[in-house]
Amino acid sequence: MNDVRPVSLERIDNKDKALEFIEKAVKEIQDEVGNNKVLLALSGGVDSSVCAALLIKAIGKNLICVHVNHGLLRKDESKQVIDTFKNELNANLIYIDAQDRFLDKLKGVKEPETKRKIIGKEFIDVFAEEARKLDGIKYLGQGTIYPDILESKGIKAHHNVGGLPEDLNFSLIEPIKYLYKDEVRQIGLALGLPYKMVYRQPFPGPGLGVRCVGAITKERLEIVRETDAILRDEFEKNGLDKVFWQYFTIVPDYKSVGIKDNKRTEEYFVVIRAIDSVDATSASTPEIPHAILTKIRDRMLKEVNGINRVLVDISPKPPATIEWE
* Structure letter (DSSP) for residue 134: S
Q: In this complex, which beta carbon is closest to ligand XMP, that of residue 71 or of residue 204?
A: 204
47 binds ligand XMP (CB under 6 A): no
161 binds ligand XMP (CB under 6 A): no
322 binds ligand XMP (CB under 6 A): yes
Q: In this structure, which long-range contacts are made by residues 220-223, counting pairs with CB atoms below 8 Å and at least 24 apart in sequence?
A: 220/251, 220/253, 220/268, 220/306, 221/71, 221/72, 221/103, 223/251, 223/268, 223/270, 223/304, 223/305, 223/306, 223/307
Q: How far, in Å, CA of 29 to CA of 174, rounded? A: 9
Residues 54-83 that bind ligand XMP (CB under 6 A): none
241 binds ligand XMP (CB under 6 A): no
Q: In this complex, which beta carbon is closest to ligand XMP, that of residue 44 or of residue 206?
A: 206
Longest dimension (CA), the chain: 71
- At residue 47's C-alpha, the angle toward residues 29 and 199, to 5°, is 130
Chain CA centroid to CA 297, Å: 25
**Part of the chain binding ligand XMP (CB under 6 A), chosen from 24-32, 138-146, 198-206, 300-308:** 198-206
321 binds ligand XMP (CB under 6 A): yes
Please work out the total of residues on this chain that contact ligand XMP, with binding judged by CB under 6 A. 13
Q: Which of 86, 101, 158, 299 binds ligand XMP (CB under 6 A)?
A: 158
Q: Which of 205, 212, 271, 288 binds ligand XMP (CB under 6 A)?
A: 205
**Part of the chain binding ligand XMP (CB under 6 A), chosen from 95-103, 141-149, 179-187, 204-212:** 204-212
181 binds ligand XMP (CB under 6 A): no
Q: Which of 36, 246, 308, 315 binds ligand XMP (CB under 6 A)?
A: 246
**Part of the chain binding ligand XMP (CB under 6 A), chosen from 3-11, 56-64, 125-133, 203-211:** 203-211
* Structure letter (DSSP) for residue 240: G
Between the CA of residue 230 and those of 222, 273, 280, 287, what are the distances in Å? Answer: 12, 13, 24, 18
17 binds ligand XMP (CB under 6 A): no
Residue 21 three-state SS? helix
Residues 280-319 that bind ligand XMP (CB under 6 A): 280, 317
118 binds ligand XMP (CB under 6 A): no
Question: In degrees rounded to 5, what are phi and psi of residue 92?
Answer: -80, 95
**Cα torsion 302, 303, 305, 307: sign:** negative
**Continuous H helices in 134-166:** 146-150
209 binds ligand XMP (CB under 6 A): no
Could you tell me the smallest distance in angstroms from the CB atom of residue 54 to ligand XMP? 20
| CB 188, CB 21: distance < 8 Å | no
* Dihedral class, residue 85 (left if φ above 0, else alpha if ψ from -120 to 50, else beta): alpha
162 binds ligand XMP (CB under 6 A): no
Q: Which of 112, 175, 204, 209 binds ligand XMP (CB under 6 A)?
A: 204
Could you tell me the smallest distance in angstroms from the CB atom of residue 7 to ligand XMP? 29
Q: Which of 44, 188, 206, 209 binds ligand XMP (CB under 6 A)?
A: 206
Binding-site ranges for ligand XMP (CB under 6 A): 116, 156, 158, 202, 204-206, 246, 280, 317, 321-323
